[in-house]
Copies of this chain bind each other. A is one copy, B any other.
């Protein structure tokens, strides 16, 4: 028996489930194939559960600093299992939410692993069950990505962790080596350090969060060092082994000297690989880069095979949930025949949820220099912001980069408390093509951290009074 659908979506992560629901809302008959939890990595093993953990870490730090705020707090004991359990509970709740949305909008959830037999036909295999064949006018590949292993070092779930193991470890390790200081590496460094683990954060690039603006990277590195994290940028791990259940790593630092480091666990956070294997892409004529795990797409998500689309981490960087969801909406609208504006990949905000937080959109200053784009820069520090002082969150700033001639906001780089929330305004400025005059004319509530952005814009144009 063949079930026939207008749209079959492979993968129920933030790209796939959104595409499936939007397509169903637009009147399509939709199936969504998922072999694991609804919501994908993001909801179950990524964005969401980590934010629960990070909030606990922040609370732990706030309690540590409570004296400043007028409290004497007795002994604090951490119930590690409860902390992990809450994180899992939040993930489970949201995953169930996706299931409810599928029911509400009539999306058929097919459990199993999908393979495109040929354009228009998807076969779903599930252990202990007969294969199910789905006929589909349109197929959306939204299979996401997985952690990239360190060369020669397989994830073992015990000593060699990916982010997945790092968020459900049964106990806090005494010492943790983290390879890679991107968003994931930095978030877990913050988390485990806040709970007292000895954390060494190793990054090959000369700075943490290498894609961020240099000033954000430098500020975070400084803050991390102050928090007690052993940050080693410009450092290469030449060998990482498990010896007697411990991690032994050879690290070559900036100065070329090799040191040996031993730790209880190692978290490998050196990027992701798109899930392109076993999908039948070759046979369908869908071109992809097997090494990076990336399906070739045009700006609208069309692959090289008509009727097959790809979105999210498996399609093109950045590998971010909100980029995947935006693409999910976009392809659903296009499949329904609606005109729809393509997702602007140059206007996807990037967020790191440690404290202080880092968020940005657009280009960092070094790229403007490289490309010789004429720009104006404005920066406003949290120490000049009343709300930041009231919160005792003095580490922070807003930095903005405008085109010197057009007034376009080329980049916004926020460091500090609430940065991940505040970045929304900059994204809107860019997507609606507003200029500095629009921002300056918009009255920002006092006292808020959002004023730092407003003041930074004023700084860039000689119109800030508070610095």
* Closest CB in chain B relative to A33 CB, distance in Å: 18
Q: Across the interface, do B42 and A69 meet the contact criterion of CB distance under 8 Å? A: no
A439 to B68 Cα, complex, angstroms: 40
A310-335: contact bitstring with B at CB < 8 Å (1 yes, 0 no)?
00000000001111011001000000
A323 to B422 Cα, complex, angstroms: 21
A60-B71, A74-B73, A322-B446 known; A93+B389 contact, CB < 8 A: yes
Q: Across the interface, do B445 and A359 meet the contact criterion of CB distance under 8 Å? A: yes
Closest B residue to A341 by beta carbon equals: B441
Q: Across the interface, do A66 and B70 meet the contact criterion of CB distance under 8 Å? A: no
Q: Which of chain B's residues have a CB closer than 8 A to the CB of A418?
A: 418, 421
Closest B residue to A420 by beta carbon equals: B448
Q: Across the interface, do B446 and A42 meet the contact criterion of CB distance under 8 Å? A: yes
* Closest CB in chain B relative to A12 CB, distance in Å: 13
A365 to B22 Cα, complex, angstroms: 28
Q: Across the interface, do B83 and A389 meet the contact criterion of CB distance under 8 Å? A: no
Which of chain A's residues 417-452 have a Cβ closer than 8 Å to chain B? 418, 420-425, 427-429, 431-432, 434, 438-439, 441-451
A443 to B428 Cα, complex, angstroms: 8
A52 within 8 A of B: yes
Which of chain A's residues 307-366 have a Cβ closer than 8 Å to chain B? 320-323, 325-326, 329, 341, 343-344, 347-351, 359
Which of chain A's residues 262-279 have a Cβ closer than 8 Å to chain B? none
* Closest CB in chain B relative to A2 CB, distance in Å: 28
Tally of chain A residues near chain B (CB < 8 A): 100
Q: Which of chain B's residues have a CB closer than 8 A to the CB of A448?
A: 351, 420-421, 424
A181 to B78 Cα, complex, angstroms: 39
* Closest CB in chain B relative to A269 CB, distance in Å: 19
Q: Across the interface, do B52 and A390 meet the contact criterion of CB distance under 8 Å? A: yes
Closest B residue to A89 by beta carbon equals: B389
Q: Which of chain B's residues have a CB closer than 8 A to the CB of A68?
A: 86
Closest B residue to A60 by beta carbon equals: B71
Closest B residue to A343 by beta carbon equals: B443
A174 within 8 A of B: no
A51 within 8 A of B: yes
A31-43: contact bitstring with B at CB < 8 Å (1 yes, 0 no)?
0000000000011
A47 within 8 A of B: yes
* Closest CB in chain B relative to A13 CB, distance in Å: 11
Q: Across the interface, do A94 and B389 meet the contact criterion of CB distance under 8 Å? A: yes
A167 within 8 A of B: no
A56 within 8 A of B: yes
Closest B residue to A467 by beta carbon equals: B101
Q: Across the interface, do B347 and A386 meet the contact criterion of CB distance under 8 Å? A: no
* Closest CB in chain B relative to A281 CB, distance in Å: 26
Q: Across the interface, do A55 and B432 meet the contact criterion of CB distance under 8 Å? A: no
Closest B residue to A21 by beta carbon equals: B465
| Cβ-neighbour of A79 out of B51, B72, B93, B463 (below 8 A) | B72
A446 to B46 Cα, complex, angstroms: 11
A408 within 8 A of B: no
A257 within 8 A of B: no
Q: Which of chain B's residues have a CB closer than 8 A to the CB of A59?
A: 62, 66, 69, 71
Q: Which of chain B's residues have a CB closer than 8 A to the CB of A450?
A: 421, 424
Q: Across the interface, do B74 and A70 meet the contact criterion of CB distance under 8 Å? A: no
Q: Which of chain B's residues have a CB closer than 8 A to the CB of A421?
A: 418, 421-422, 448-450
Q: Across the interface, do A55 and B443 meet the contact criterion of CB distance under 8 Å? A: no
Which of chain A's residues 142-185 have a Cβ closer than 8 Å to chain B? none
List 11 additional contacts besides A70-B82, A70-B83, A73-B73; criterion CB under 8 Å: A21-B465, A70-B79, A320-B446, A321-B446, A347-B442, A347-B443, A349-B443, A349-B444, A421-B421, A422-B424, A425-B428
User: What are 12 inter-chain pairs, A to B, with CB distance below 8 A?
Assistant: A48-B390, A52-B390, A56-B69, A63-B66, A69-B83, A74-B76, A101-B466, A323-B443, A325-B446, A347-B443, A427-B445, A431-B443
Q: Which 8 A-B pairs have the closest CB atoms?
A: A74-B74, A70-B83, A51-B390, A322-B446, A424-B450, A74-B75, A70-B82, A52-B390
